[in-house]
Amino acid sequence: MNKRKLEAKDLFKLQSITNPVISPSNKEAVFIRTEMSEKDNKYYAYLYHVNLETDEETQWTHQKENISSPRWSNDGKYIAFLSNREDKNQLFLLSTKGGESKKLTNLEKGVTSFNWSPCGKKIWFVAPLKEGANWDDEPKKEENKKPEAYVVDKMKYHADGVGLLPQDVYRQIGRIDLETEEIEQFTKGNHQHSLQAVSYDGKKLVIGVNREENQDFSFKQPIYLVDTETKEESLLVDEDGYFGGASFSYDNQYIAFVGANRTFQNATHAEVYVYNTQTGLKEILTEGIDAPVGDYAGGDLQQGSSAPNVVWTKDNHLYFQLSSMGDVRLYFASLEGELYPATPENEHVYGYDIANDGTFALGTISNSVFPGELFRLNLTTGERKALTSFNEKLLEEVELVEPEAIVYKGAKEWDVHGWLIKPAGYVEGKKYPLVVEIHGGPHTLYANTFFHELQLLAAKGYGVLYVNPRGSHSYSQEFVDAVRGDYGGGDYEDIMAGVDYVLSEYDWIDKERLGVTGGSYGGFMTNWIVGHTNRFKAAVTQRSISNWISFYGVSDIGYYFTPWQIGADMTDIDKLWDASPLKYAVNVETPLLILHSENDYRCPIEQGQQLYITLKGMGKETSFVRFPQSDHNLSRVGLPNLRQTRLEQITGWFEKYI
């Protein structure tokens, strides 16, 4: 059978299989399947059940909605989940014996997250609440409400994907009685609370809350152990950085969580911590590994995917994800110091759960030519079995190209890791153009995972080079930190060294027909490249940064991200300007397409506007495409039709100029 070439519109045929959760009996599980509807121009996520004794798979929800966060009750009789079927996410309950799901909450601002009480009669939840209000007397949404002025008195007042942050609204923890449906508010005060874990005896919670009055320059959320009856608190951790994702061991003696301090600001590797509730001592289980705990892979599939930070087994062993050398693997750890990978190389474990007896895992797993399905993994033998095949039909239809892993010397003679994809339908002896793709972050990574955009470029007849320059995760702490204070320096050298490497090693690449593209940090780097070299015949910059001076004040993270990454604030305008691609616009000779989302608060659209008007005013070859109703995540979870348009714009620009 001759396979056809992959197309942009195949986005609508890709299925995202995520969020496996094993039942307490280890005999069944649930997971989520997400699809994009071309007709409705929306995403729909459905709850599925799988019998782990027979492998029989059953769809449990069918409404056009987004299901998220499925959780089993401790007796395995119910599944609770969040659904946006009535706009805001609300809490629903579904009997595992069948029947319709029951709506448990009707809160004005929805429910953020939840955890079962071990008794199975109550559910703890987190939901936004107006200052001084109660959930049972929240005002209902007013029709034809007049617009009101938004008074800003904080620096953290807007966020990408949200817009202006609700004022005088705070996330509070509450619990709902499943029999009476009465809600009791547990936390109070003008603070943002998170609920991370409930002990197996129901007596303790792990919560996160920062009670500092001014949090503009506070980058932490202290974690507390709280008595559910007396509300007495004991502090687990209180230091700058991210700490969270806590989980109790089955005997309640230990609490595991993941944390990254601010030693290297947002480039610091995350570690697995374990707190002993009896001794009050903390230890770091992963300090012997020079790689970050968690999943930092970039991509354009796996919508709605989330994975637990850590999972315990009943014999007090732990499992977690680790980003390592371009992979995201499942790792095992014991309290005695054992530490080793539980899944192989060359793949992306983007979701998982562990049977409580430690005998098997469920994993949602992808690789470079495999969009991802649900697998059962034998943790003793390493054997695996596919439980789903939702993407099988598409894989039978389209030609995908296996990337070749490469390693070369970058700046300072450091090893740089990347991949090269040959064009689909490659013919020996023929010359082909090459497109260089640059990831965002910069502290993310290209991984051994499916990336529709990269395969699409190959289908259009391009070779594709994508690498992990310094600043990328999954390598050493020194490597990921090396980009800070050196944007456009060693990272630029790493990328261009990769171009030189493949041109010297692969004679099928036409060195006169090179293109470059990237988004966010990758957009910054694309802008930087075309201002510093004329080697590329065409470039596409996406959701980019062009001017660090204006970025400082307009981005939702600008005022702190800029000093972290560039090493300067508004007291050192010269340093910010020297690091700004806009300064070098006069040097640009490469035709540049500028793509930007109108509701991007991370890299606001004025960054693209400045670059476009400057280049256009200089008579440069450029074009500007604006995407309405879209934020910084357009390429991942944006409106489906605009995601397709974006891909067509990229490939169309390269077809025109390369």
pLDDT digits (tens, 9 = 90+) for 15-31: 999 999 999 999 999 99
Is the pLDDT reported for residue 654 higher than 90? Answer: yes
Q: What is the mean pLDDT of the chain?
A: 96
Q: What is the mean pLDDT of residues 425-454?
A: 97
Q: What is the mean pLDDT of residues 451-462?
A: 98
Is the pLDDT reported for residue 246 higher than 90? Answer: yes
Q: What is the mean pLDDT of residues 206-235?
A: 96
Q: What is the mean pLDDT of residues 529-548?
A: 98
Is the pLDDT reported for residue 61 higher than 90? Answer: yes
pLDDT at position 360 = 98
pLDDT digits (tens, 9 = 90+) for 411-421: 999 999 999 99
Is the pLDDT reported for residue 70 higher than 60? Answer: yes
Is the pLDDT reported for residue 431 higher than 90? Answer: yes
Is residue 196 within 8 Å of residue 246, measured between CB atoms?
yes
pLDDT at position 68 = 97
pLDDT at position 539 = 99
109 falls in which pLDDT band (50, 70, 90)? very high
pLDDT at position 639 = 97
344 falls in which pLDDT band (50, 70, 90)? very high
Burial of residue 391 (number of CB atoms within 10 Å: 0-12, 13-18, 19+): buried
Is residue 228 within 8 Å of residue 202, measured between CB atoms?
yes
> What are phi and psi for residue 586, nearest 5 degrees?
-60, -25
pLDDT digits (tens, 9 = 90+) for 293-305: 999 999 998 777 8
pLDDT at position 216 = 96
Tokens matching residue 564? 């972290």
Q: What is the mean pLDDT of residues 188-205?
A: 96
pLDDT at position 132 = 85
Tokens matching residue 261? 């301090």
Give the three-class secondary structure for 624: strand
pLDDT at position 141 = 61
198 falls in which pLDDT band (50, 70, 90)? very high
Between the alpha carbon of residue 43 and those of residues 84, 582, 645, the distances in Å are 11, 37, 17
Task: Give me the percent of the chain exceeding a pLDDT of 70.
Answer: 99
Is the pLDDT reported for residue 94 higher than 80? Answer: yes
End-to-end alpha carbon distance in the chain: 31
Domains defined along the chain, listed by start = 401-657 (3.40.50.1820)
pLDDT at position 99 = 86
Q: How far is CA 552 from the centre of its chain?
A: 24
Is the pLDDT reported for residue 138 higher than 80? Answer: no
Total-model pTM: 0.97
pLDDT at position 87 = 86
The count of C-alpha atoms lying within 13 angstroms of the C-alpha of 433, restricted to the half-sphere facing its C-beta, is 23
Least confident of 62-66, 140-144, 316-320, 407-411: 140-144
pLDDT at position 453 = 98
Residue with tokens 């506007």: 609
pLDDT at position 86 = 85
Q: Which residues are catalytic?
A: 520, 632
Burial of residue 234 (number of CB atoms within 10 Å: 0-12, 13-18, 19+): exposed
Q: What is the mean pLDDT of residues 450-459?
A: 98
Between the alpha carbon of residue 636 and those of residues 459, 466, 469, 632, the distances in Å are 20, 18, 22, 9
pLDDT at position 92 = 97
Count how many residues are written for the chain. 658
pLDDT at position 145 = 84
Is the pLDDT reported for residue 593 higher than 60? Answer: yes
140 falls in which pLDDT band (50, 70, 90)? low
